[in-house]
Structure 1
Amino acid sequence: MQRVAVAGLLCALMLFSCKSGEKMYNKGRYDEAVTAFVKKLQRKPQDATALKILPLAYQQAAKMHEDRVNAFLRSNNQLKWESVRTEYRSMQRLYDLIHGSPAALQVVTPKDYRDAITGAQENAAEVRYDRGMVLLEKGDKASARLAYDEFTATLKLISNYRDARQRKDEAFQAGVVNVVISELEVRSTYFQFSADQFRDYLVRTLQQRNINRFVQFYDERIARNENIRPDEYIELRFLDFMVGQTYVDRSQRDVSKQIVTGTTKDTSGKSQNIYQTVTATLFLTKKTVYSSGVLDYRITDTNNGKLLRSDRVPGSYTWVNQFGYFKGDERALSDADKSLLGGRDVPPPPPQDLFIELTRPIYDKLEQDLRSFYYRL
């Protein structure tokens, strides 16, 4: 029973394959038709339909690709050889497929396109290389970056084409933009260490994110020590900042509530609640420490002194500590009153920590601005 089921499945597959091949052929999808018929012949070498239509499908596929090749060759598109290579590769796949089926080889003699592919590939690499050289010789950074892409494409076509690898490296060096980030001075030496941490972390993050392969970021001190000439200079400075402005708000509030303390009976014997008014006084303290600052940054082209971008980024941080206690009867307190109680009087973070906190939103906005600016370079 199982053998019958397997045989039935194979028959169904072969029938589907044949019908699929005819369907593709009738729709003008000749490559797919050739593939379907070859697979059919690999399973059933004597299939009449496949043997009859396969030569026609291959002939139409070859004509279609050759027509496309001729159209590309007549065009003025400099990159036409890459399209030509694609067409030849499609035909070579059919050649390899047919050579994998003895039955298919009996009715089709496929053409070997290996030499044609090699020729098209060499022509394509030459065109890419020549385009890269023309761009590189222009001598400007934008053209050098385009030249880098052309040499990269050359090496993808032929991995050892002439001196393309050397030219690619040359184009990269000519196209790269060295961006130096200034030291960040603050008016108080007390915060200088924190300011240096801010700047150092910014430089490391920009370097590690690899925003643009043609942009390299440097710390001003390192650039100076290594004699790196900046193409662009990012100047950072705090226009103004204030750390640890403290506000203390003390208040007290009297509260009262009627509570049931028991029951009694009236003259008719009916129970009645006995009420008592209880009171308490809340003593609340709210200590707020506010810190804020504004960072100014400017991006300048060091070659011509042109200002490329500038902005001012504000940041702030508010530290709050609230605590309270009460005197009197606790039963007078509502749930909202109780939520205000507890805690203790604790000192605020040290000024260096407050400075770091106020610069966090500044850092986030500054990094976002710089990533956006240099991503589009």
Structure 2
Amino acid sequence: MFRYLPILLAVVLFSCKSGEKLYNQGRYGDAVEAFVKKLQRRPQDATSLQLLPKAYEAAMDYHESRAKQALASNNDLKWEAVRTEYRAMQALYNAIRSSPAANSVVKPKDYSTAITGAQENAAEARYARGIQLLDEGDKYSARQAYEEFNAALRLAPNYKDAEQLREQAFQMGLVNVVVSEIDVRSPYFQFSADQFRDALVRNLEQRRINSFVKFYDERYVRGDRDFRPDQYMEMRFYDFVVGQTYVDRSQREVSKKIAVPGNKKDSVVYITVKATLFITRKTVASSGVLDYRITDVGNNRVLRQNRVPGSFTWQNQFGTYRGDERALSDEDKKLMGGRDIPPPPPQDLFLELTRPIYDRLAGELQSFYNQY
């Protein structure tokens, strides 16, 4: 136990010196907390008992002055600054009350009621700003109003009807984007195109690109008379070719030196073995370009337009050989083990070529709607 005594004494001395140092640096609030911690360990510490009242008075003067300065300003949000100062003084009150020795030399002021009043006033200021913004009647102001009502509720939960007004502001600030059915010019691929569109709408919703932007599948809102879209995103595939097949046949000679037993016992001789490979490479190339355009429904203005290319190549190789199998490499043997298989059906090829289109389109839309 005694071996830890020097360490304990060093901690105590450091605590005392650190409190004095903070006080001398003008960091009165930190000094109060340091002195209180010291008195919790050593209630009779003379330095802490002497400097704590001075540090507390100086800290109170500082925060009271800042609170009065904030109150005298014309800033709509001054009560939030006042609350910050009151909270700082309340923290000093709580610290001193936690130590009987500190409480014996300082009678701290309780600011809990003042904090409640400041929060109510701060919430009212945010609420009033929200009402004013909501009266502007445009989407941008509605989104700002939403943030103001949100701030009011953080300051004072259940404040007046701020929760209902926040929801109203949210609905007013929403940008409803209808994603059209995709024109692919060929009914054969319509089902695959619908799958592409369904996946895109789901992904855009899951990404939560912007809380004030919501995407809808055209099929599900077409008959809703109460629904009012703000933007319309039209998509169309151009110049797409699915299942263009190419067959390439080639042959090549291969050879390899191998060791074989000689005529004499335990002897080895090297011979060259040869084979001719006949390779068939079947390639099915698919490509296409998706044109998309986002239009403002109110004024029919094009907000964004671009074309996104995509491609997919399916390939199968197989072969036969004539000659000595020992001349084949491991890769050659894999080709020889292959077989002629049919390519995927056109619908699957269409989905594959849309994957790179999908990824790029989703990225472009996220970048575009991040500005809202």
TM-score of the superposed pair, with normalisation by structure 2: 0.92
1:370 to 358, 365, 368: 365
Assess, with a 3 A threshold, how the Cα gap between structure 1 residues 46 and 340 changes in structure 2: closer, same or farther: same
For each residue in 1:125-168, what CA deviation from the matched residue of structure 2 results, as whole angstroms up to 9, or x when unmatched? 12111111111111100000000000100111111222211211
Amino acid at match of 1:242: V
The alignment partner of 2:165 has SS state of helix
8 A Cα contact 1:291 1:354, kept in partner: yes
- For residues 280 and 314 of structure 1, the distance between their equivalents in structure 2, rounded to whole angstroms, comes to 43
Counterpart of 2:242 in structure 1 is 243
Amino acid at match of 2:102: A
Question: What RMSD over aligned residues (CA atoms) do the two structures have, in Å?
Answer: 2.2
The alignment partner of 2:222 has SS state of helix
- For residues 365 and 156 of structure 2, the distance between their equivalents in structure 1, rounded to whole angstroms, comes to 37
8 A Cα contact 1:235 1:297, kept in partner: yes
Unaligned runs of 5+ in 1: 266-271
Matched, 1:105 2:103: yes
The number of aligned residues is 369
- For residues 98 and 290 of structure 1, the distance between their equivalents in structure 2, rounded to whole angstroms, comes to 78
Counterpart of 2:298 in structure 1 is 303
Counterpart of 1:203 in structure 2 is 201
The Cα of 1:14 is off from its aligned counterpart by 2.8
The alignment partner of 2:253 has SS state of strand
- For residues 259 and 198 of structure 2, the distance between their equivalents in structure 1, rounded to whole angstroms, comes to 66
TM-score of the superposed pair, with normalisation by structure 1: 0.91
The Cα of 1:55 is off from its aligned counterpart by 0.3
Assess, with a 3 A threshold, how the Cα gap between structure 1 residues 273 and 163 changes in structure 2: closer, same or farther: closer
Counterpart of 1:54 in structure 2 is 52
Counterpart of 2:86 in structure 1 is 88
Counterpart of 1:65 in structure 2 is 63
Amino acid at match of 1:75: S
The alignment partner of 1:116 has SS state of helix
- For residues 95 and 11 of structure 1, the distance between their equivalents in structure 2, rounded to whole angstroms, comes to 28
Matched, 1:115 2:110: no
1:185 to 163, 168, 183: 183
Moved more, 335-344 or 279-288: 335-344
Matched, 1:293 2:293: no
Assess, with a 3 A threshold, how the Cα gap between structure 1 residues 70 and 281 changes in structure 2: closer, same or farther: same
- For residues 100 and 258 of structure 1, the distance between their equivalents in structure 2, rounded to whole angstroms, comes to 91
8 A Cα contact 1:223 1:229, kept in partner: no
8 A Cα contact 1:33 1:57, kept in partner: yes
Matched, 1:325 2:315: no
Amino acid at match of 2:240: F
For each residue in 1:21-51, what CA deviation from the matched residue of structure 2 results, as whole angstroms up to 9, or x when unmatched? 1111111111111011112212222111111
Unaligned runs of 5+ in 2: none
Moved more, 148-157 or 111-120: 111-120
For each residue in 1:96-116, what CA deviation from the matched residue of structure 2 results, as whole angstroms up to 9, or x when unmatched? 111122211221111122232
The alignment partner of 1:166 has SS state of helix
For each residue in 1:77-114, what CA deviation from the matched residue of structure 2 results, as whole angstroms up to 9, or x when unmatched? 32221111101100001111111222112211111222
The Cα of 1:122 is off from its aligned counterpart by 2.0
Matched, 1:280 2:275: yes
The Cα of 1:196 is off from its aligned counterpart by 0.8
2:171 to 154, 170, 173: 173
Counterpart of 1:347 in structure 2 is 342
For each residue in 1:301-358, what CA deviation from the matched residue of structure 2 results, as whole angstroms up to 9, or x when unmatched? 1011010001111110000101112101234445665565431111111111101101
